[in-house]
């Protein structure tokens, strides 16, 4: 407890709020002209301008405040990292022509006529072109399926194309069609392995927030002569947790403990869900105690998840205590652990100690990465500690580490409305976005600040940055507008969302049925409701419970008690 004891006295004097396990970060709102006039932000802009940006593929994200991340930001099947042919490449005129023909063929009254139209077009099919065409039309599943079926006629729709097509169908919730394709793979294409296709279905059901279908898919793997093994079991746990159904994942793990005995890796998946997906420190502590009760020994990954969680909620005391305990048990702290400590120390006004941790890392032979410096830049930006932030940015670049998208997102959190566009333009200039995530962050920020007019302007500007609004953007926008009392605008954009082919949302539809009260753009009732609810589009997990002789149902607590502070 050496490192912990060195901070205890200071923390008791300067941080009376430290024992609170939940802490809400609030962004710094600068004036509209502050980005161009504020010396700190002007200096940052100048520094970015003279830096060569080469984003590292290994740069991992240490996000501490991203309130509106899309549900499917993580893709376990690596489709997004595959080098597809694209229509932007002037050498791929064949793909561009094929996509044009697909759209013309889609107007035909039947599939047979559509495929005949493509056959008569004279275009030559190849596996890569069909695969890339499915990817390019992934938001229009009928076009993608037509490309797949036509490629099938020319033996160009291989196992890889089948898996991608199943993923596309799952995204659009066309699960019946996807199952027909899997049965076809199993019965008519005996050489194809349906295992990956089944795992994709598990992942897409989880993304569609249907945990019951996730578990059913796991159970019917045997019908396709696939024995559910440890990897498939962990895939179910990961898919459920990654999409917010952490309670269901934990229930499933205990329900299957006879077939898959409880072990550290399974608990780590659940811990990751509570620590990094849900960010619920109380639930993470409960699972930690469950591990002890079932004689499961935490490993380095377990400690890493817990320290990450405590750092993100501002619990410096437990972060340092677990760090000391981790070392006593001979687990070597990873770079991620040190990044977490640096973040929570900076956030809790222990900046000098954070710099000491940075020096200690280097002394141990651990090279700081971009996430290390972002862990200091973000909390410094939030409290307007401009000099320290710019010094960290300078040090970062002196060590040949380029600012990442996370660095820009940190400055976006503190920028005013006008400054926001300057940061967005800089991101575009250096090739780091802005992305869908960037605009989700901005929408969430302006709704938290109760500035629906600015959130609406940001949404309208998305296409100027070549970002097409997704269903998640519409959901955040509509719910945010409704919460702020802009009911007429909310209904207009909900209608636009449905017109663009996005699925209906029952909860949002019910919210929009509420009568309009007062002015078009003002409604105190909705603003008050927004303040009570906190974040927009917050996903609540299911309240399923279970109980057996070895696992007691958990009980949620509305308030934090002293006993919760102990693991």
User: pLDDT tens digits for 471-514?
Assistant: 999 999 999 999 999 999 999 999 999 999 888 888 888 899 86
Q: What's the whole-number mean pLDDT along residues 350-370?
A: 95
State the angle between helix axes of 127-136 and 141-153 in degrees (0 to 180), rounded to the nearest 10.
Answer: 170
Q: What's the whole-number mean pLDDT along residues 269-276?
A: 97
pLDDT band (50, 70, 90) for residue 335: very high
What is the DSSP secondary structure assignment for residue 276, as one 8-state letter? I
pLDDT for 69: 31
What separation in angstroms does the CA of 436 have from each of 71, 432, 441, 462, 470?
Answer: 12, 12, 9, 9, 8
pLDDT for 190: 65
pLDDT at 28 over 50: no
pLDDT at 325 over 50: yes
Q: End-to-end CA distance of the chain, in Å?
A: 16
3-state secondary structure of 548: strand
DSSP output for 164-199: HHHHHHHHTT-HHHHHHHHHHHHHH-TTS--HHHHH
Where are the alpha helices (H) located in 467-547, listed in sequence order? 471-483, 487-499, 506-512, 524-533
d(CA 246, CA 274): 7
Which residues neighbour 504 within 8 Å (Cβ) at sequence distance 6 or greater?
498
pLDDT for 10: 44
What separation in angstroms does the CA of 174 have from each of 9, 313, 477?
Answer: 59, 39, 25
pLDDT for 381: 85
CA-based torsion, 62, 563, 541, 497: positive or negative: negative
pLDDT band (50, 70, 90) for residue 33: very low
Residue predicted with more confidence, 257 or 68: 257
pLDDT band (50, 70, 90) for residue 126: confident
Which residues neighbour 414 within 8 Å (Cβ) at sequence distance 6 or greater?
27, 28, 30, 381, 382, 384
pLDDT for 83: 60
- CA nearest 325: which of 306, 339, 340? 306
Pick the CATH number of 334-429 from 1.20.1730.10, 2.70.170.10, 1.25.40.10, 3.40.1280.30: 1.25.40.10
For the segment 525-536, what is each residue's pLDDT rounded down to a tens digit? 433 333 333 333
- CA nearest 391: which of 366, 442, 354, 424? 354
pLDDT at 7 over 80: no
d(CA 140, CA 169): 10
Which residues, in sequence order, are bridge partners of residue 548?
551
What is the DSSP secondary structure assignment for residue 277, as one 8-state letter? I
pLDDT at 316 over 70: yes
d(CA 240, CA 251): 11
Average of per-residue pLDDT values in the chain: 79
For the segment 379-392, what is each residue's pLDDT rounded down to a tens digit? 998 887 877 888 89
Q: What's the whole-number mean pLDDT along residues 56-71?
A: 33
Q: Which single residue is written with the structure tokens 């039947």?
A: 110
pLDDT at 524 over 50: no
pLDDT for 85: 62
**Percent of the chain topping pLDDT 90:** 58
Region at 168 (left for phi over 0; alpha for psi -120 to 50; beta for the rest) = alpha
pLDDT band (50, 70, 90) for residue 150: very high
What is the DSSP secondary structure assignment for residue 104, as one 8-state letter? H
d(CA 100, CA 105): 9
Q: What token pair was written down for 73?
A: 């930001």
Task: Specify the range with the lowest mean pLDDT, choosing from 27-31, 350-354, 357-361, 482-486.
Answer: 27-31
Q: What's the whole-number mean pLDDT along residues 209-237?
A: 92
Which residues neighbour 111 within 8 Å (Cβ) at sequence distance 6 or greater?
146, 149
What separation in angstroms does the CA of 551 have from each of 254, 260, 288, 450?
Answer: 8, 16, 13, 43
Which residues neighbour 505 within 8 Å (Cβ) at sequence distance 6 or greater?
475
Q: What's the whole-number mean pLDDT along residues 542-557?
A: 40
Q: Which of 112-121, 162-171, 411-420, 551-560 has the highest mean pLDDT?
A: 162-171
Q: What's the whole-number mean pLDDT along residues 541-565?
A: 38
Q: Which single residue is written with the structure tokens 């998640």?
A: 472
Q: What's the whole-number mean pLDDT along residues 319-339?
A: 97
Q: What's the whole-number mean pLDDT along residues 313-340?
A: 97
Task: Specify the range with the lowest mean pLDDT, choosing from 215-224, 281-290, 334-343, 378-387.
Answer: 378-387
pLDDT band (50, 70, 90) for residue 414: confident
For the segment 161-214, what is each residue's pLDDT rounded down to a tens digit? 999 999 999 999 999 999 999 998 888 766 688 999 999 999 999 999 999 999
d(CA 457, CA 442): 11
Residue predicted with more confidence, 81 or 476: 476
Centre a 10 Å sphere on the Cβ of residue 528 and count the other Cβ atoms it contains.
12
């Amino acid at each position: 407890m050496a490192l912990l004891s060195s901070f205890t006295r200071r923390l008791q004097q300067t941080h009376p709020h430290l024992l609170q396990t939940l802490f809400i970060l609030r962004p710094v709102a600068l004036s509209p002209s502050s980005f161009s006039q504020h010396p700190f932000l002007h200096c940052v802009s100048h520094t970015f301008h003279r830096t060569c940006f080469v984003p590292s593929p290994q740069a991992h994200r240490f996000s501490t405040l991203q309130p509106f991340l899309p549900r499917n930001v993580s893709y376990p099947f690596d489709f997004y990292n595959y080098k597809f042919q694209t229509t932007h490449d002037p050498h791929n005129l064949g793909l561009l022509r094929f996509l044009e023909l697909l759209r013309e063929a889609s107007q035909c009254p039947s599939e047979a006529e559509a495929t005949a139209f493509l056959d008569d077009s004279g275009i030559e099919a190849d596996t890569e072109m069909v695969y890339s065409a499915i990817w390019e039309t992934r938001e229009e599943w009928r076009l993608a399926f037509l490309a797949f079926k036509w490629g099938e006629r020319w033996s160009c729709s291989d196992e890889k194309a089948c898996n991608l097509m199943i993923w596309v169908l799952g995204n659009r919730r066309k699960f019946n069609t996807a199952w027909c394709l899997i049965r076809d793979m199993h019965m008519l294409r005996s050489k194809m392995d349906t295992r990956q296709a089944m795992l994709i279905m598990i992942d897409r059901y989880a993304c569609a927030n249907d945990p019951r279908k996730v578990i059913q898919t796991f159970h019917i793997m045997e019908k396709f002569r696939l024995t559910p093994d440890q990897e498939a079991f962990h895939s179910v746990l990961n898919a459920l947790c990654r999409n917010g159904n952490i309670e269901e994942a934990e229930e499933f793990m205990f329900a299957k403990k006879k077939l898959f005995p409880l072990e550290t890796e399974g608990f780590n998946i659940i811990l990751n869900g509570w620590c990094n997906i849900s960010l619920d420190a109380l639930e993470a502590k409960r699972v930690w105690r469950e591990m002890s009760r079932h004689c499961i020994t935490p490993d380095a990954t377990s400690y890493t998840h817990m320290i990450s969680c405590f750092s993100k909620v501002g619990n410096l005391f437990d972060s340092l205590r677990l760090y000391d305990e981790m070392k006593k048990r001979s687990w070597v702290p990873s770079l991620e652990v040190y990044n977490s400590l640096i973040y929570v120390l900076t956030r809790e006004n222990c900046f000098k100690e954070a710099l000491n941790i940075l020096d200690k890392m280097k002394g141990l032979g651990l090279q700081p990465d971009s996430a290390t410096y972002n862990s200091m830049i973000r909390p410094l930006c939030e409290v307007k500690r401009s000099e320290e932030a710019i010094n960290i940015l300078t040090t970062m670049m002196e060590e040949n580490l380029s600012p990442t998208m996370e660095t820009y997102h940190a400055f976006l959190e503190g920028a005013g409305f006008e400054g926001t566009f300057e940061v967005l333009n800089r991101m575009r200039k250096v090739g780091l976005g802005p992305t869908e995530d960037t605009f989700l962050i901005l929408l969430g920020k302006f709704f938290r600040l109760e500035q629906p007019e600015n959130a609406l302007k940001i949404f309208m500007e998305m296409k100027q940055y070549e970002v097409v609004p997704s269903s998640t953007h519409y959901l955040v926008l509509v719910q945010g507008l409704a919460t702020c009392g802009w009911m007429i605008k909310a209904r207009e954009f909900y209608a636009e969302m449905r017109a663009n082919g996005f699925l209906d949302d029952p909860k949002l539809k019910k919210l929009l049925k509420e009568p309009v009260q007062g002015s078009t753009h003002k409604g105190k009732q909705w603003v008050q409701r927004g303040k009570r609810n906190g974040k927009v589009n917050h996903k609540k997990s299911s309240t399923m419970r279970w109980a057996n002789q070895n696992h007691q149902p958990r009980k949620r607590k509305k308030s934090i008690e002293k006993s919760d502070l102990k693991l």
